[in-house]
Structure 1
Amino acid sequence: MSKRTELEATIDDLKPDVIGVTESWCNSTIMDSEAAFDNYVMFRLDKDSPSGRGGGVILYIHESLSAVACHEINNSNDFNSSVWCLIELERNEKLLVGLCYRSPNSTDQNNRKLLEQLEESAKVVNATHLLLIGDYNFSEINWKQGKVESGGDTDEAQKFFDTTQDLYLVQHVIKPTRNRGDYVKIKSHFKNVNWEEEFKDKTCNEAWNIFKEEYETTIQEHVPLKKKKSKKPPWLKSGVKRSIRKKYNMYQRYRKTQQYKDYEAYRKQSNITKRKVRRAQVDYEKKIMRDFKKKPKAFYSYVRAKQKVKTGVSQLENDQGDLTKTDKETADVLNSFFQSVFTQEPDGEPPTLADRKADIEELIGADFTLENVMKKLDKLKQDKSPGIDQVHANVLKECKEEMAVPLFMIFKKSLEEGCIPDDWKLARVSPIFKKG
């Protein structure tokens, strides 16, 4: 329920009659009062898991519509993540609404139960219309062209597509609803690689280069480039933006009419907007303070943005006494100074160090399993920037089961050979300018 505030603002803006939420992450510890919204009737199904993460669906129907749970389907099938209800329409007609979520890692048995549930929906007594919403994770289906493309779990996608056609269902959403990586296809690609064969008779460094090449190719195909958005204050949410827009429209109206009542309306809205802006700022600052331990970057980023005076690097004087003219020349001057503060070693062979004996046992081996690697990948922080190898933590975590296999083999080779891949020896060193 971490996105409840954002969802609430969206509901206030769009005022929809039917809302479907998949992956609600709700469990038995979250009460109905915490998940409910004013003026909406809620139908929820939680998926309590040992980790407390993932799963769960919630269906909201506006109270102006007469809606009841459809026990005919809810109680007749063991598909693990769906909820159904019936809405009374005019002329004794009824709309059957189903909200389903199919995980990308869904089992064959669960996939079969989903298809059976869809078939059951066509047999519900007195239901004259059917609205099916949710997230089914079948990116292989090209709804626009009406066919199933290769990649991913094609057999299951074909069965799902055939079932929707047999039931005469019409797909209304034909474009992706999120601009994010297609992790289903990324997982499928890495799962289908025979890593034993690829890494056979290869050194640790060669195995890493093979893995990196596969990674780069897959990312280019299945991860869209993100368009850079204009920077806006982090506290500027939809409700505040609407208030600012309303204030602007009222001011434009007053400029046209020059009437006192329009001026009063504008002044009143201006005061409301000021209060909302101040409240939004205070609420955001309280939030980043509460989350400081978990998200310190958000706090320091906000503090830096509030600085009135920002010191930058201006022109510098080079060895010839001339001022630099470009950013590159300035960077070269800084780099030269950065190198000058290190100890200058004489040319020739480096000095030989005497043997140093320490009372430490020799590391003969280190035992770790595939599960150990998977757990480490699951603990990665997804907001961290990638290193020189450009392997992003978010991809590693989302595809941990598939990524863990080649990485486990590379780690094993590294220990056996007593070396690490060349890429792991590289690092970015950036001199930081300090005023004074």
Structure 2
Amino acid sequence: MVIFLSNSFSSLDCTSDDIPSDELGSPIATSSPNPADRAKPVKNSSQHRKIKTLVINCDGLCNKLPQLESLIDHHKADVIVGTESHLKNAIFTSETTPPGFVTYQRDRIQGKKGGVCIMVKDDLIASECNIITTEAELIWVELHIKGYKRLIIGSFYRPPNSPPANIQHLSDSLASIQSKFKNAILIVGGDFNLADIDWTNRSVRPYAVESAKCSPLLDVCNDFFLDQLVKEPTRISEAAQNILDLVLSTHPNYIEKCKVVPGISDHEVVLFTLNLKPKLNKKVPRKVYLYGKANMENLRADMTNFQDSFLNSDPDSRNVQTNWNMFKEKISELMEKHIPSRTSCASHKNPWITREVRRMSKKKQSLYKKARLSNNPKDWDSFKVHQKATQKKQRKNFWAFQNNMFDEKDKSNKAFWKFIKSKK
């Protein structure tokens, strides 16, 4: 047997070192894509934006504004469903509304505390639903979304030891909503204060103390096809861990990433994401004239010339409106000619939320997660110590920013007027 060790291919005339680098080209197929061809990550634009929502038991908004603003900044929230707001008519809405949000609220008329509210980011289109009011602490807001469906979000608070009729008021309001908004996506969040319900089996726990109050809520969920999405305890104490804050929805398939995060009161916060595209308010950039850089000499000269020509043109023969239009048009023309300008977009950044505050908030979230997983008393103690330190830092920065708004070097008090404008 004869074995041929040669092949039919001719040897290469040159090596790779002889080929200019710019003529090598690229392979037809590779196991990894060309870095230049890799798709860049898509930012949270209006086409891909989802709606992040927080369900919060506030236990008083007036003294929790620093924690609330920091919580919104950390989770990049779009909607706040709040309970126990403790607001009254004597308190202006602007005093308790975070920058860049619009508040819809219903305060408790008789008695102290209580109250519900829904805060919506001002670049989202929302409106309060005009539903016949009931005795329940409940408010409904429609959030406009793309598509043919309508999104209705409600905030509900059931005080402890309240009668079963409170849940009946919720049922009546749900019936009115579904009658007015056919086939709408309904979401109800809030503090229900019913710990004796086993939401895994959708049943009342054996030997429940408040079984007569729990059963009506289960009936409401069955009647209106509502699913309860919170699976973790929202009220944690040494004695018990209970699910008191709920998220009920007729369309649970639109809700993703529903979880519990550290709160601003003795209740934790429920965070969930709505996989829906909201309609946005398109804000037109505002034109700002830079008067400090204006050519005042030429401006005065042109205005003097206009004054002479205006007075020589017999203004008494024209009516007031015509003279005013001539003056207004000339002023606008000269401003464009002699005063530089720039465009400015509204910004709702909180200067007091520094890198250190964000770092402490992130660490608080990590310690909370670790304590929940381990349920170790030492881990819970570490979390509580850091939580207090974070809250102290948030309040310190918040009030330091407001106290230092007046700067002796800045005679225009720009920071002060910017703060006032954000509270309008």
User: Structure 1 length normalisation: TM-score?
Assistant: 0.42
More strand by share: 2
Kindly indicate whether structure 1 or structure 2 has the higher relative contact order, using CA contacts under 8 Å at least 6 residues apart: 2
User: Structure 2 length normalisation: TM-score?
Assistant: 0.43
